[in-house]
């Protein structure tokens, strides 16, 4: 699979958000990663549906919306309607029947569906849902804040999930999020990830196009 770069706007300047998204588009980014946090599932509060709506008006880039919220089945449809291209939520945040219903709702709205797993969650929990997914997201930091240190011990889980996906759903993308930079991208790609979320690595770079190119090509 081609390597895709998804800069996280959690590290962007929200006063200039539309301009910051245009900068990563011009720099060759593939996705815009939108981190939604509710202060319950994770100990931080970020943005929600109004910002996704505004982003949709401001850009034609692919909006990769990562919900770090409690009981996400309540909101997946609203994020689809707001303009998300892909809605990702955490397997730890809901009951199995609600996870299935949420995935079905995302698909019914013509959007892509993804599940995310925290560092302490085994990859095997994704098994019941593999055939319904367009992407799996492996957190390589504890979710909640940007700028954390990359957890290299998550790479066996990434490799395990890539092997599982190759058997059941080979077109499913595998995304890693947390501490990804040029120093850690090779480990992610070698383990089987093809979508790299990078927040501070991109937005704090002196040359954003060069940083995106380095993340993509190694």
Q: What amino acid positions are annotated as catalytic residues?
A: 35, 177
Q: How far apart are CA 214 and CA 124, in angstroms?
A: 32
Sheet bearing 195-198, strands edge to edge? 4-7, 195-198, 173-177, 135-139, 112-117, 86-90, 62-68, 31-37
Q: Which run of H or of E encompasses 90?
A: strand 86-90
Of 12, 52, 1, 6, the C-alpha closest to 25 is: 6
Check residue 15 and report its DSSP letter: G
Name every residue whose Cβ is closer than 8 Å to that of residue 3 and which is 6 or more positions away in sequence. 189, 194, 195, 196, 215, 216, 217
How far the first Cα of the chain sits from its last, in Å, is 15
Give the 3-state secondary structure of residue 126. Answer: helix
Check residue 13 and report its DSSP letter: -
Phi, psi values for residue 58, rounded to 5°: -90, -20
């Amino acid at each position: 699979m081609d390597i895709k770069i998804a800069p996280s706007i959690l590290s962007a300047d929200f006063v200039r958000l539309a301009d910051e998204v245009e900068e990563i588009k011009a720099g060759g980014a593939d996705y815009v990663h939108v981190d939604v946090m509710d202060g319950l599932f994770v100990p931080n509060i970020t943005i929600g549906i109004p910002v996704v709506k505004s982003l949709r008006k401001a850009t034609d880039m692919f909006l990769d919306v990562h919900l770090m919220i409690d009981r996400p089945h309540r909101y997946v449809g609203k994020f689809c309607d707001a303009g998300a291209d892909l809605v990702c939520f955490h397997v730890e945040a809901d009951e199995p029947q609600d996870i299935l219903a949420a995935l079905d709702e995302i698909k019914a709205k013509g959007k892509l569906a993804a599940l995310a797993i925290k560092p302490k969650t085994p990859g095997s929990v994704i098994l019941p849902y593999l055939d319904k997914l367009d992407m799996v997201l492996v957190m390589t930091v504890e979710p909640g804040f940007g700028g954390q240190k990359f957890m290299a011990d998550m790479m066996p889980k990434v490799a395990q999930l890539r092997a599982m996906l190759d058997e059941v759903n080979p077109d499913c993308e595998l995304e890693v999020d947390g501490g990804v930079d040029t120093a850690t991208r090779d480990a992610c790609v070698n383990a089987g990830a093809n979508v790299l979320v990078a927040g501070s690595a991109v937005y704090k770079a002196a040359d954003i196009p060069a940083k995106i190119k380095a993340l993509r090509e190694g």
